[in-house]
């Protein structure tokens, strides 16, 4: 588990510092899933054309899959525990070291599977979108099985799927863990909420607009959020370039925050960063609108760098952005007030904007 000295080295802010007590669980957030090696090509002018060779102006490699979410959580100062299988190859070794040594993520419930190769995703970013090609095989049982008894944690993040039940989700919720859930595209085409068997154990559900409308049979993402709030205590629907909308089913409160306009280099992992930002604000006890604003901000900062996990911002990046936008007299006062809650939270910016983060690639040796 991450030590206090590690945290001071990695982050300059603990968002839960004022809330921590000796009897609290050592883990803030638990999650499990598949770790991919992501190979990202950026700077493509268009989609690759059959029978031709395309050259990309940028390329990087980084841990992907569930590692995107785990890294985003850890960089925001949350004590993060990841349960995953890692390939018994150089890719797996690289991903393990990047997460454990580089991001200080607790991997004590993870394992290296002998003779199993790492899943790989190649992501091509162009015109603000991405196209991915993946290859991999499920890790063999028992090495591929998820621990039935996850650690005590403040929160857990589950990825729901139709007909997919994870025993650990009910176990975690039954022991007081607050479960946040996202969801992927329903390949069956049925879009049946009842098929999301673990949804009843979740405190919050965070689909995108298209997913939310299909699951609720509505033609408006805001109407979809209200419909989902009848099934889960908190529904958060991401609206892409329009921001996000949320409904608290227990109080009836709703909130909407517009997106921050940025020039997107690579959207890989932006949804994971959004969830991490929202979980951070929720555990810290922020108002609903502030949580949405912070989640949207962290996602916007992430798409300005390439690479899913390594593009996730930390508090240093957020502080540098806040200092940067306040340095201009022509900023919209209302927009600045939306993020004024950051003023009391952020450390002093230690580096100027824009920041350059770690180069996401395999092969460089430490100097």
Report the Cα 118 to chain-centroid distance in Å. Answer: 21
Greater confidence, 44 or 357?
Answer: 44
Tokens 């090495």 -> residue: 143
pLDDT band for 42, please (50, 70, 90 cuts). Answer: confident
The pLDDT value recorded for residue 65 is 93
pLDDT at residue 307 in the model: 60
Count Cβ atoms within 10 A of the Cβ of residue 362 and give its class: 0-12 exposed, 13-18 middle, 19 or more buried: middle
Sheet holding 129-135, edge to edge: 58-65, 35-42, 120-126, 129-135
Give which of 127, 126, 128, 136 is closest to 41, Cα–Cα: 126
Task: Specify the pLDDT at position 10.
Answer: 45
**Residue 3: pLDDT over 50:** no
pLDDT at 5 over 50: no
The 3-state DSSP class for residue 338 equals helix
Percent of the chain at pLDDT > 90 equals 66
Q: What confidence tens digit (pLDDT) does each residue in 217-229 have?
A: 999 999 999 999 9
For residues 234 and 211, is the Cβ–Cβ distance under 8 A?
no
Q: What is the pTM of this model?
A: 0.90
Neighbours of 284 (CB within 10 A): 20
- What's the pLDDT score for residue 366? 46
Q: Of 193, 196, 240, which is closest to residue 217 (Cα–Cα)?
A: 193
pLDDT at 333: 85
Give the mean pLDDT of 223-242: 96
- 30 in Cβ contact with 156 (< 8 Å): yes
Name the percent of the chain lying above pLDDT 70.
89
Task: Name the average pLDDT for the chain.
Answer: 88
pLDDT value of position 308: 63
pLDDT of 263 higher than 80: no
Give Cβ neighbours of residue 213 (< 8 Å, ≥ 6 apart): 219, 220, 221, 224
Q: Is 280 helix (H, G, I), strand (E, B) or coil?
A: helix
Q: What is the arithmetic mean of pLDDT over 82-98?
A: 95
Segment 113-164, tens digit of pLDDT: 999 999 999 988 777 677 889 999 999 877 777 777 899 999 999 999 999 9
Q: Look at residue 125 in the predicted model and tell me its pLDDT.
A: 75
What is the C-alpha to C-alpha distance for residues 153 and 110, in angstroms, rounded to an integer?
16
């Amino acid at each position: 588990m991450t030590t206090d000295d590690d945290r001071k080295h990695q982050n300059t802010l603990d968002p839960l510092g004022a809330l921590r007590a000796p009897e609290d669980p050592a883990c803030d957030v638990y999650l499990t899933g598949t770790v991919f090696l992501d190979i990202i090509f950026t700077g493509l002018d268009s989609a690759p054309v059959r029978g031709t060779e395309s050259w990309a102006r940028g390329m990087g490699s980084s841990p992907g899959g569930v590692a995107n979410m785990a890294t985003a959580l850890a960089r925001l100062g949350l004590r993060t525990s990841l349960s995953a299988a890692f390939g018994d190859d150089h890719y797996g070794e690289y991903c393990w070291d990047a997460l454990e040594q580089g991001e200080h993520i607790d991997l004590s419930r993870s394992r290296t599977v002998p003779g199993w190769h790492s899943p790989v995703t190649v992501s091509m970013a162009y015109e603000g979108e991405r196209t991915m090609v993946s290859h991999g095989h499920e890790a063999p049982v028992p090495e591929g099985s998820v621990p039935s008894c996850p650690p005590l944690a403040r929160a857990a993040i589950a990825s729901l799927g139709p007909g997919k039940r994870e025993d650990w989700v009910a176990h975690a919720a039954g022991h007081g863990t607050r479960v946040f859930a996202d969801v992927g595209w329903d390949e069956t085409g049925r879009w049946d909420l009842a098929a999301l068997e673990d949804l009843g154990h979740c405190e919050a559900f965070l689909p995108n607009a298209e997913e939310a409308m299909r699951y609720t049979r509505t033609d408006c993402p805001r109407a979809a959020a209200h419909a989902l709030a009848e099934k889960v205590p908190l529904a958060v629907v991401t609206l892409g370039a329009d921001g996000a909308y949320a409904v608290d089913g227990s109080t009836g409160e709703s909130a909407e925050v517009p997106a921050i306009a940025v020039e997107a280099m690579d959207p890989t992992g932006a949804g994971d960063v959004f969830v991490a930002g929202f979980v951070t604000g929720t555990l810290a006890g922020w108002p609903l609108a502030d949580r949405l604003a912070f989640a949207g901000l962290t996602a916007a900062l992430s798409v300005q760098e390439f690479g899913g996990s390594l593009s996730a911002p930390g508090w240093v990046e957020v502080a540098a952005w806040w200092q940067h936008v306040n340095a201009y007299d022509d900023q919209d006062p209302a927009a600045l007030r939306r993020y004024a809650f950051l003023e009391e939270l952020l450390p002093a910016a230690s580096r100027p904007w824009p920041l350059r983060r770690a180069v996401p690639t395999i092969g460089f040796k430490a100097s």
